[in-house]
């Protein structure tokens, strides 16, 4: 895989460089609530612009249905990119139409443009190779060189991720090169003890990675909504807590395999419960109760790991040489149920080992809860991509960057 460093050494002055970024930021109307993904691509965009390239930045945002939708416009992201760069960023109001063509043609050396949301064109996400290829052909006409730097999208077989690199000289940007280097530390020659903390809502989202980790990790700490399916699989009463009943057989098999393989699979010993799910917008105070994990009342719902579990998980992370964390421990968006996620984040900071926050909601939680991002070894920009890499899958966007 060639990297941007090789491209820069070859010279990019005057060349149109297409940067497939991940600007899929959360929006409240037109206000960006977390600009982490924009900041993550800055090193690549700035390096290219400083070297005299004419930089064309492209990304998706949200899930529009193959047609323009103002709610998913990249205009706020383009404006924020300009603020972070300290220079004007041109914005094309379409992807491969008249505006995109004119905007790119109007770039001078060292200038940057953002084209509109790639998913406004049905060809971006089409499962039909010909339709995807036709869209990739039109994107290729906008550039001379391709730089892949949208790690959060590399697990998607989309036109701008998979098909476009085949049509242009292609390189990995700084972000993708960093992400791949970090993930290799979690899969090849791992320093031990290797501890993985998994949370989030659905156990089904994590089954494949748990399957892989049962042969690689020394400890698995389970939290979040997915923990209640594990507790139910052990025969515990979980009340109204989130449950994926169809996953119980798989979870039981994993519990047995963990014991057989000598992998310490750690479940909550207590939990914060409430009779009503909290209002995440109003964030009005609630009155959670702490109960043992095997004694959740029938009319209550588990919403965060309890204080004893926080201490337990911190102790299990204290001697780790390598840590991977993906998924919050509770409903961290509400202050009454954020302490479990805070405790795990702080335990990563306190750990002497190499710590990786696996993107998605975990990365959002780190920023939302006010932690210093520099205190972690690495914060990934792609939760789904990170998990699929750890599952051992071939990621289309990475395969497309290989020579």
pLDDT tens digits, one per residue of 334-371: 999 999 999 999 999 999 999 999 877 898 899 889 99
Contacts of 118 (CB under 8 A, 6+ apart): 58, 59, 60, 95, 124, 158, 159, 160
Contact between 70 and 24 under an 8 Å Cβ cutoff? The reply is: no
Q: How far apart are CA 59 and CA 144, in angstroms?
A: 18
Confidence (pLDDT) at 359: 76
Contacts of 70 (CB under 8 A, 6+ apart): none
Q: What is the 3-state secondary structure (H, E, C) of 295-306?
A: ECCCCCEEEEEC
Strand 31-32 with 27-28, pairing:
antiparallel
pLDDT digits (tens, 9 = 90+) for 207-264: 999 999 999 999 999 999 999 999 999 999 999 999 999 999 999 999 999 999 999 9
Contact between 355 and 325 under an 8 Å Cβ cutoff? The reply is: yes
Contact between 285 and 274 under an 8 Å Cβ cutoff? The reply is: no
Confidence (pLDDT) at 247: 96
16 sits in which H/E element:
strand 16-20
Confidence (pLDDT) at 189: 81
Confidence (pLDDT) at 132: 98
Evaluate if residue 29 carries a pLDDT over 80.
Answer: yes
Q: How far apart are CA 151 and CA 154, in angstroms?
A: 5
Contacts of 80 (CB under 8 A, 6+ apart): 25, 32, 35, 38
Contact between 320 and 195 under an 8 Å Cβ cutoff? The reply is: yes
Confidence (pLDDT) at 16: 98
Evaluate if residue 382 carries a pLDDT over 90.
Answer: no
Confidence (pLDDT) at 313: 98
Helix axes 383-390, 360-368, angle to 10 degrees: 130
pLDDT digits (tens, 9 = 90+) for 132-172: 999 999 999 999 999 999 999 999 999 999 999 999 999 99
Neighbour tally for 259: CB within 10 Å: 11
Averaged over 84-98, what is the pLDDT? Answer: 98
Q: Is the dihedral of CA 237, 243, 246, 250 positive or negative?
A: negative
Q: How confident is the model at residue 383 (pLDDT cuts 50, 70, 90)?
A: confident
Angle CA 190–191–192, to nearest 5: 110
Q: How far apart are CA 131 and CA 388, in angstroms?
A: 26
Contacts of 117 (CB under 8 A, 6+ apart): 59, 60, 61, 62, 64, 68, 72, 73, 74, 95
Confidence (pLDDT) at 282: 87
Confidence (pLDDT) at 361: 85
Confidence (pLDDT) at 360: 79
Averaged over 299-305, what is the pLDDT? Answer: 97
Confidence (pLDDT) at 59: 98
Confidence (pLDDT) at 395: 96
252 sits in which H/E element:
helix 248-261
Q: How far apart are CA 144 and CA 171, in angstroms?
A: 12
Q: Is the dihedral of CA 259, 265, 270, 275 positive or negative?
A: negative
Share the mean pLDDT of the chain: 96
Q: How confident is the model at residue 22 (pLDDT cuts 50, 70, 90)?
A: very high
Catalytically annotated residues: 37, 202, 360, 384
Contact between 195 and 217 under an 8 Å Cβ cutoff? The reply is: yes
187 has which bridge partners?
A: none
Q: What's the number of CA atoms in the CB half-sphere (13 Å) around residue 133?
A: 5
């Amino acid at each position: 895989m060639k990297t941007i460093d090789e491209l820069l050494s070859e010279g990019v002055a005057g060349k149109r460089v297409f940067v497939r970024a991940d600007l899929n930021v959360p929006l409240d109307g037109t206000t960006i609530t977390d600009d982490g993904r924009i900041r993550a691509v800055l090193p690549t965009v700035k390096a290219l612009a400083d070297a005299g390239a004419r930089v064309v930045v492209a990304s998706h945002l949200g899930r529009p249905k193959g047609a323009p939708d103002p709610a998913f416009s990249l205009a706020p992201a383009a404006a924020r990119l300009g603020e972070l760069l300290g220079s004007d960023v041109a914005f094309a109001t379409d992807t491969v139409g008249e505006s995109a063509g004119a905007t790119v043609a109007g770039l001078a050396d060292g200038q940057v443009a953002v084209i509109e949301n790639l998913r406004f064109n049905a060809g971006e996400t089409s499962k039909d190779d010909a339709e995807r290829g036709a869209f990739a052909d039109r994107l290729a006409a906008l550039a001379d060189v391709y730089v892949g730097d949208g790690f959060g999208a590399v697990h998607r077989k989309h036109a701008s991720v998979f098909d476009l690199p085949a049509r242009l000289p292609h390189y990995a940007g700084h972000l993708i090169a960093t992400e791949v280097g970090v993930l290799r530390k979690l899969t090849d020659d791992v320093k031990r003890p290797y501890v993985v903390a998994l949370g989030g809502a659905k156990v089904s989202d994590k089954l494949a990675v748990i399957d892989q980790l049962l042969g690689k990790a020394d400890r698995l700490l389970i939290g979040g909504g997915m923990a209640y399916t594990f507790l139910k699989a052990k025969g515990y009463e979980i009340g109204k807590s989130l449950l994926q009943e169809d996953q119980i057989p798989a979870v039981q098999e994993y519990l047995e395999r963990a014991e057989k393989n000598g992998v310490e699979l750690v479940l909550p010993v207590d939990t914060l419960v409430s009779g009503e799910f909290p209002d995440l917008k109003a964030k009005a105070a609630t009155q959670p109760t702490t109960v043992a994990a095997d004694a959740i009342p029938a009319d209550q719902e588990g919403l965060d790991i309890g204080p004893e579990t926080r201490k337990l998980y911190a102790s299990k992370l204290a001697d780790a040489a390598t840590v991977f964390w993906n998924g919050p421990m509770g409903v961290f968006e509400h202050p009454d149920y954020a302490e479990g996620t805070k405790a795990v984040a702080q335990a990563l900071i306190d750990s002497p080992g190499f710590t990786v926050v696996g993107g998605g909601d975990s990365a959002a939680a780190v920023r939302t809860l006010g932690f210093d991002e520099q205190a972690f070894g690495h914060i990934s920009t792609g939760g789904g991509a990170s998990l699929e890499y750890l599952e051992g899958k071939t990621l289309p966007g990475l395969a497309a960057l290989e020579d």
